[in-house]
Amino acid sequence: MTNILPEFSQPPGNSPSSVPSSHENNRYIYASSKDVAAYFGKRHADVLRVIRNLKCSGEFYRLNFTPFKTNDLTGESTSHVDMTREGFTFLVMGFTGAKALQFKEAYIAAFNEMEERLRNVAKSAPLPNFSNPSEAARAWADEYDQKLVAQEDKADKTMGCNPLT
């Protein structure tokens, strides 16, 4: 399992299992509502209530939140929600508390750093020979690939994700 949060220094006494972990399903990475609740020190029932009451479009909810039920150790059925990174971010941006503030600051810093890297790449890239469409297309494709790799590397490091192989 991987950590979908930016690298934070953990307070003493926190076990690795208290950090929201993620799992892969159909090549997508999901976080569990239960893990998110544990990490942010919230009751799972409260996190589920917040997810149900999110002010987002139905389409966004459908694409980023997957409710499901599972049996706990006593055999009782309990509700959970898997969420994508986008859903996780949407949810956590509404949280308060020290860990939520850490996440928000790290998210903003990562975005600013990504923006700066993209600006630097755009400044340093020479213009292709537009009189040769083949050369121009190759140059554009190479630049696009480099930007994607840079964005993915940065997002993986910032969000603590391991790329899928």
Domain membership flag for residue 152: yes
Domain membership flag for residue 65: yes
Residues 97-137: tens digit of each pLDDT: 998 898 899 889 988 998 888 888 767 766 677 788 888 88
Record the pTM: 0.59
Mean pLDDT of 140-158: 78
- Tell me how crowded residue 58 is: count the other CB atoms within 10 A of its CB: 7
* pLDDT at 61 (0 to 100): 95
CB 44 within 8 A of CB 128: no
Residue 154 has pLDDT above 80, yes or no: no
Domain membership flag for residue 90: yes
Residue 47, both tokens: 């996190």
Q: How confident is the model at residue 59 (pLDDT cuts 50, 70, 90)?
A: very high
Domain membership flag for residue 164: no
Q: Could you list the residue range(s) of the whole structural domain that residue 132 is in? A: 2-159
Number of domains the chain is built from: 1
Domain membership flag for residue 165: no
d(CA 144, CA 139): 9
Domain membership flag for residue 91: yes
CB 22 within 8 A of CB 84: no
Domain membership flag for residue 99: yes
Domain membership flag for residue 41: yes
d(CA 128, CA 138): 9
| Residue 151 φ then ψ, to 5° | -65, -45
* pLDDT at 29 (0 to 100): 80
